[in-house]
Amino acid sequence: MAKRTTYWWNKWTAGAIVILLLVLTPIFTILFKLFDKPGEHWRHISSTLLPSYFINSFLLLFGVGVVTFVIGVSMAWLVSVYNFPGRKYFEWLLILPLAFPSYMMGYSYVGILEYTGPIQAFLRNNFDIKFKGPIVDIMNMPGAIFILSISLFPYVYVICRASFMRQSSAMQEAAFLLGSNRMQMFTKIALPMARPAVAGGIALVGMEVLNDYGTVKYFGVDTFTSGIFRAWFSFGDINTAIYLSAILTVIVLILIWLENFQRGSRNWNSGNADTKPAIRIWPKHKSTRWLYTALCMIVLLISFIFPLSQLFYWVSLTWRNVVDSEFGILIFRSFSLAIGSALAIAVISIFLLYTIRLSPLWWTKHIARTASLGYAIPGAVIAVGVMIPMMGLDRKINWLLSDNVGMILSGTLFILVVAYIVRFMAVGYNAIDAGFQKTGASVNEVARSLGASSSRTLWKIDLPLIKYSIAGAVLLAFVDILKELPLTLILRPFNFHTLATKAFDMATNEMIAESANASLVVVLTGVIPIIVLNNMISRKE
């Protein structure tokens, strides 16, 4: 008879502990530094710049929160309750702005509105109307709010739409029979029921706003993230950068806590999985139908089609000068780095999730979840958090080898991959988790009761069953990594560029039209998973 072993300890648990320690190191590093002495420029920054960092960050959070709420919720309500011409397409077209990194959206709009832009050219040539400078100056706070909102509202839209769709038709019918009209149904039933979802979406938007560097830098709005960059690059004061990062992390953690707190133990969606979604109604008047179509179209035009057209226009002007073998290498490097990191994320996520699946201990799930905390932490903070322990390690290695091998960890792509894993773990983790949830635990249990070891069960049963989820996870993480800017800017090896940093670099160096080439590659790549995932979903329907 085989040996009895301690029931919860096995190689999976051991591996998971190691992974978690590695992934959580940067976050802990930052939080511990909060109790350290701040750097030499701290006094200067805290007295002169800190108040404006606070005010700007909160104004931005608030403004973008309100605007994304209005656009996201209203679009979600339109497409999930009404039927109108083109609804089927708008349903997924409205997700497309997610493919547009905010900073690239910003460059496009500056181009659209400037003197040489299409609007002014059109007005000038046809009506002889002339402006001095741009039509509207968007290089300011309201401009930044506008840009961030139109590129981030899909977070609210997607989550909210899913929530509206999950609400059962029976509930709406009950409300109807009790005498509610559409508006009351929205304000009294649908929206309150979707509240946890809406708040979740806005929390995501908030995290993205705090993460953003490209847009605020270009628009000259000083936020915490730009403060970290200033401390790091302009003052060369690492300790101050860490201190700012720590404050920002605390703000984010409060945001997460608020979101969890408002959610509480609420689960307002009917537990029954196969509730029939409500039947969409055609508005009575034809004009109303077209009004809804027009509304969706306007949002789509502003948030995706106009800025994309601007990119295409710029590319048509500049591609001869920009697209060469070097540009090809840039794409290749950028893609390989993103794919490699995405694969690493998938492998680690599978390892953690499989450990949870096997573990008989309830808290494994909660501990493993912290691995995905990185998604909430701004990229600049993670960069700083990864950099510090890596530089420490490098010093140790050099001392041990008593040879100057250089910065073999912190000065190479290795550190970038580690940082991507920490930052985007949640993307892969959630997608693969969904796969595991769908497969259910019983196939795994039955395989083990038939005598298969846990590793054999993973290879033969679980992995083949979740292969699409794994592909989805890699795809999503890949696109997110490709778009990533602040973290890459801080950690990239000297003279190494990704598409994102190249676009940023060119745009900030007055080569905005040229930067469109790199931007266009990023945006079009970002569109792919949206179309793929949409196809997968509609095939299921």
Partner 1 sequence: MAIIELNNISKRYRKADTCAVEDVSFSLEKGEILALVGESGSGKTTLLRLIAGLEHPNSGIIKLDGEVIVSGRKSLPANKRQTGMVFQDYALFPHLTIFENVAFGLKGLNKKEVEKRVHETINLTGLKEDVKKYPHQLSGGQQQRVALARALAPRPELLLMDEPFSNLDTILRDQVREEVRQIIKAMGITAILVTHDTKDAFTTADKIAVMLNGKLLQIDTPDALYNDPNSSYVAELFGKSNNVVATVEPGGFKTPFGFVTGPKDCPMSVNKDKVNLFFRAEETDFCNAEEPHLCGMVEQCMYLGDHMQLKVCCNRCTSCANDCEKGAVEDTQRILLRSSVQTWKPGDIVRFKLKNFKVKETDSEELL
Q: Which spans of this chain sit near partner 1 (rule: CB under 8 A)?
A: 1-8, 360, 362, 440, 442-443, 445-454, 457, 460-461, 464-465
Residue 52 or 453: which CB sits closer to partner 1?
A: 453
Strand partners, 277: 168
Residue 188 or 438: which CB sits closer to partner 1?
A: 438
What would the two tokens of residue 8 be? 């919860």
Tell me how far apart the alpha carbons of residues 154 and 201 are, in angstroms, rounded to a whole number.
Answer: 9
Tell me how far apart the alpha carbons of residues 502 and 322 are, in angstroms, rounded to a whole number.
Answer: 11
Longest dimension (CA), the chain: 93
What would the two tokens of residue 332 be? 């290749």
Residue 93 or 358: which CB sits closer to partner 1?
A: 358
Residue 466 or 513: which CB sits closer to partner 1?
A: 466
Residue 75 or 447: which CB sits closer to partner 1?
A: 447
Tell me how far apart the alpha carbons of residues 166 and 267 are, in angstroms, rounded to a whole number.
Answer: 12
Residue 323 or 465: which CB sits closer to partner 1?
A: 465
CA distances (Å), 535 to each of 35, 75, 93, 280, 540, in order?
50, 20, 12, 21, 9
Residue 6 or 126: which CB sits closer to partner 1?
A: 6
Tell me how far apart the alpha carbons of residues 19 and 348 are, in angstroms, rounded to a whole number.
Answer: 8
Report the candidate in 394, 390, 485, 385 with the shortest Cα–Cα distance to residue 28.
Answer: 385
Tell me how far apart the alpha carbons of residues 124 and 111 are, in angstroms, rounded to a whole number.
Answer: 16
Strand partners, 82: 281
Smallest gap from residue 455 Cβ to partner 1 (A):
10
Smallest gap from residue 466 Cβ to partner 1 (A):
10
Tell me how far apart the alpha carbons of residues 376 and 379 are, in angstroms, rounded to a whole number.
Answer: 9
Smallest gap from residue 441 Cβ to partner 1 (A):
9
Burial class (CB in 10 A: 0-12, 13-18, 19+), 461: middle
Smallest gap from residue 439 Cβ to partner 1 (A):
9
CA distances (Å), 196 to each of 263, 316, 423, in order?
5, 45, 24
Smallest gap from residue 273 Cβ to partner 1 (A):
14
Smallest gap from residue 463 Cβ to partner 1 (A):
10
Residue 47 or 442: which CB sits closer to partner 1?
A: 442
The Cβ of residue 313 has, within 10 Å, a number of other Cβ atoms equal to 17
Give the length of the chain.
541
**Residue corresponding to tokens 């989550």:** 159
In this structure, are residues 168 and 276 in contact, taking their beta carbons and an 8 Å threshold?
Answer: yes
Smallest gap from residue 357 Cβ to partner 1 (A):
11
Report the candidate in 88, 89, 55, 95 with the shortest Cα–Cα distance to residue 71.
Answer: 95
Residue 5 or 126: which CB sits closer to partner 1?
A: 5
Residue 396 or 460: which CB sits closer to partner 1?
A: 460
Smallest gap from residue 2 Cβ to partner 1 (A):
4
Strand partners, 168: 277
Smallest gap from residue 438 Cβ to partner 1 (A):
11
Residue 8 or 261: which CB sits closer to partner 1?
A: 8
Smallest gap from residue 449 Cβ to partner 1 (A):
4
Smallest gap from residue 444 Cβ to partner 1 (A):
9
Tell me how far apart the alpha carbons of residues 262 and 314 are, in angstroms, rounded to a whole number.
Answer: 45
Residue 179 or 271: which CB sits closer to partner 1?
A: 271
**Which residues in 24-183 belong to E strands, given as ranges?**
none
Phi, psi of 8 (to 5 degrees): -110, -10
In this structure, are residues 393 and 449 in contact, taking their beta carbons and an 8 Å threshold?
Answer: no
Burial class (CB in 10 A: 0-12, 13-18, 19+), 380: buried
Tell me how far apart the alpha carbons of residues 110 and 46 are, in angstroms, rounded to a whole number.
Answer: 32
Residue 45 or 353: which CB sits closer to partner 1?
A: 353
Coil, helix or strand at residue 266: coil
**Torsion angle, alpha carbons of 44, 47, 51, 53, to 10:** 10
Tell me how far apart the alpha carbons of residues 378 and 211 are, in angstroms, rounded to a whole number.
Answer: 4
Smallest gap from residue 112 Cβ to partner 1 (A):
50
Smallest gap from residue 229 Cβ to partner 1 (A):
45
